[in-house]
Amino acid sequence: MSRRWSRFTSGTGPCSRISWWPAYTFADTKLAGTVLTAKGAAIRIANHWFALRYTCQTGEAETVTAFEFTLGEEVPEGKWPEYNLAVQDEPAD
């Protein structure tokens, strides 16, 4: 299974400090109908990695109709290589 990443490249406010969001760093994602559950995601905020759990519900045309998340503990920098978490941001494609 290939790693799925979401990349935030612009914006202002709190979300502008989010740079990477791998969906299954610590556990596989689960898809049931139109509900994606990621209990083992990670999110990079201001050069720090955090555990993340989320559920995303989609509707027609893949529009998001509901999104719930829980931000977990910070991942210690010494564990980043173990989980293939980037040490620095890569250039945008």
Averaged pLDDT in 10-residue chunks for the chain of 93 residues: 40 56 86 91 89 90 86 94 80 43
Give me the pLDDT at residue 17, please. 61
Query: Which residues have C-beta within 8 Å of that of residue 46, sequence separation ≥ 6?
Result: 17
Q: Where are the domains of the chain?
A: 5-83
Q: Which amino acid is at 73?
A: E
- Distance, CA of 18 to CA of 9 (rounded, Å): 9
Say if pTM beats, i.e. exceeds, 0.85: no
Give me the pLDDT at residue 80, please. 93
Give me the pLDDT at residue 11, please. 47
Question: Buried (b) or exposed (e) across 28-64, using 16+ Cβ within 10 A?
Answer: ebeeeeeebbbbbbbbbbeeebebbbbebebeeeeee
Give me the pLDDT at residue 71, please. 92
Give me the pLDDT at residue 10, please. 42
Give me the pLDDT at residue 89, please. 58
The backbone region for 47, taken as left when phi is positive above 0, alpha when psi lies in -120 to 50, beta otherwise, is left
Find where tokens 């791998």 sit: 22
Give me the pLDDT at residue 21, please. 75
